[in-house]
Structure 1
Amino acid sequence: MTTMAGTFDETRLRRGIEQRDADMLISLYNDDAEVEIVDHTNSPSNPLILRGHAEIRQTLEDVCARDMTHSLDRCVMYDDLAAYTESCRYPDGTCVLCNSMLDLENGRISRQLMVQAWDE
């Protein structure tokens, strides 16, 4: 998959998500990347904003450490944009669905908007 300024590695994204590998996932982000998260705790008017590798890594390590399965269901790319859907399932059957929109620079994530929902 080619972007205007480089190549985004969808295979690394899939492996990182499905193998719960925080190191592989953080390698896909620019050092100064920003992640905006909207969910039942963080409303659209007050989203959680993660800035830079340290904050993003902390969240990725937390998510990857959880006893759950992750699946990259769809990934589409166009120029310097990508979007994907991720499905997760805890051992008790609780499901999480996450949609992400990515801005890419030089084949790496510069900005991510993530909207996620849980079974409740």
Structure 2
Amino acid sequence: MGTTAPTGFDADTLRRAVEGENATVLLSLYADDAQIRLVNKDAQPSRPKVLHGRNEIAEVLNDVYSRDLKHRMEQCVIEGDHAAYSESCEYPDGLRVLSESMITLRDGKISEQIMIEAWDD
């Protein structure tokens, strides 16, 4: 089990980006043509929400990071050109969100991500 991909992508960089106060650093980790496939209660596995390219990804990340929400990266494993990580989020009212992501790296950038989210009801 490695902690650094050969391309220089590492867990500390990902942690700073995920736990940062705005989307800018996190967005910089994505390739221009990156794709995110998001599965949650509103976007089920047979019809996931798919974001194509940094512009679509930026819209969602800017929305998420504009909220009063605390982000924490729980765990991260990086092996070659793949990484997986857990992220927990909490709103001021106590509502929690947990996400699990599997990412594919290309030239040190995230090229594909599958994210599964679970929300408190």
User: After TM superposition, is the score higher than 0.5?
Assistant: yes
- Given that 2:90 and 2:96 are in contact with CA atoms closer than 8 Å, whether structure 1 keeps it comes out as yes
Q: TM-score, normalised by structure 1?
A: 0.94
Separation of aligned partners in 2, 1:14 and 1:3: 15
Q: Deviations over 1:6-44 (max 9, x none)?
A: 121322221122123211001100000000000000000
Aligned residue for 2:32?
A: 31
Mapped to 1, the partners of 2:32 and 2:11 lie a distance apart of 19
Q: Which runs of 5+ in 1 are unaligned?
A: none
What is the TM-score of this pair, normalised by structure 2?
Answer: 0.94
**1:85 partner letter:** S
- Please give the root-mean-square deviation of Cα atoms over the aligned residues, in Å: 1.1
**Partners of 1:36 and 1:50 within 8 A in 2:** yes
- Superposed CA deviations along residues 68-99 of structure 1, whole A, max 9, x for unmatched, are 11100000011110000000001111000000
Aligned to 1:60: 61
Using the alignment, how far apart are the partners of 1:25 and 1:9 within structure 2? Answer: 13
Rounded to whole Å, the distance in 2 between the matches of 1:19 and 1:80 is: 24
- Per-residue CA deviations over 1:39-67 (Å, capped at 9, x if unaligned) read 00000000000000100000000111110
- Percent identity, aligned pairs only, is 46
Deviation at residue 107 of structure 1 after TM alignment: 1.3
State how many pairs are aligned: 119
1:80 match: 81
Please say if 1:95 is aligned against 2:60.
Answer: no
| Superposition map of 1:15-30 within 5 A | 15-30=16-31
1:71 aligns with 2:72: yes
